[in-house]
Amino acid sequence: MSRQVFFYDAPDRFVAGTVGLPGRRSFFLQATASGRTTSVALEKTQVAALAERIDELLDEVVRRSGGNAPVPAVAPTELSDTDPLDSPVEEEFRVGTMALAWDGDEQRMVIEAQALVELEADTDEDLAEAEERLLQDDENGPPMLRVRLTGTMARSFAKRALEVVNAGRPPCPLCSLPLDPEGHVCPRQNGYRRDA
C-alpha cells in the first residue's frame, strides 16, 4: 500500500486548535484548501515545540538574509485567526514525528507531520535499523501531512499555536500546577483543597 500524503501548498488556512474543555483538551493541526480539510492529532508539547521551532527558524532566515527575506519579525495582526477548528474534526492520524525546513528557492516554510508508528524490535540495533528503513521508505511509509507556508503564514501559525497552548487551565499562584474547575489539591498547602 502506498504512502498517503496530505499535501497543502499555501493552504487557505493552517492552524493549531483544540477540542474539549481545559484539562481534557485534544490538540490538532488542521489544514484547509479548496474545500478539503485534514486534521491530525498531536500532543500539547508537540504543538508548543513546533511553534517555538518555527519562530526560531524564521528568525534565522531573517538573520541570514540580512532582513531581505519575505518574513515578518512578528505575526501581522490583520492575519490573526481566532476561529475554532473547522467542523467536523475527523482525525486522519496521530502525529509521531515532525520536520521543518525553509525552501529558499520558493521562500516557503515546509512543515511535515508524520503518523506515529509502533516499531517492534528485540535489540536497540534492530530498532535503529527499523527506524532507518522507515525514514528511507518514501513510497510505503506512514501517512504524512505536508504543508508549505509563506513566512507570514508561518509566523501567524506559530503565534496562534502558542496562544492555544497557553489558553488551558490557569496555574495555581502557589505551586504553578494547573487549576481544575472543581478545585485543586495544592502541594504547597499541605494537601488542602484550594477552590478555583
Q: Does the pLDDT value for residue 68 go beyond 90?
A: no
Q: What does the pLDDT look like over 18-41, one tens digit per residue?
A: 998 877 889 999 999 999 999 999
Work out the average pLDDT over 58-65.
91
Tell me the HSE value of 15 on the side-chain side, using a 13 A CA sphere: 19
Work out the average pLDDT over 74-91.
89
Instruction: Work out the mean pLDDT of the chain and round it to a whole number.
Output: 85
List the single range of 60-64, 87-91, 95-99, 125-129 with lowest mean pLDDT: 125-129
Distance CA 147, CA 8 (A): 5
| pLDDT at residue 22, as a whole number | 78
Report the amino acid identity of residue 47. Answer: V
Nearest CA to 47 out of 185, 149, 161, 150 is that of: 161
Q: Does the pLDDT value for residue 91 go beyond 80?
A: yes
Q: Does the pLDDT value for residue 65 go beyond 90?
A: no
Distance CA 4, CA 1 (A): 9
More confident residue, 2 or 17: 17
Q: What does the pLDDT look like over 128-142, one tens digit per residue?
A: 666 566 555 567 678
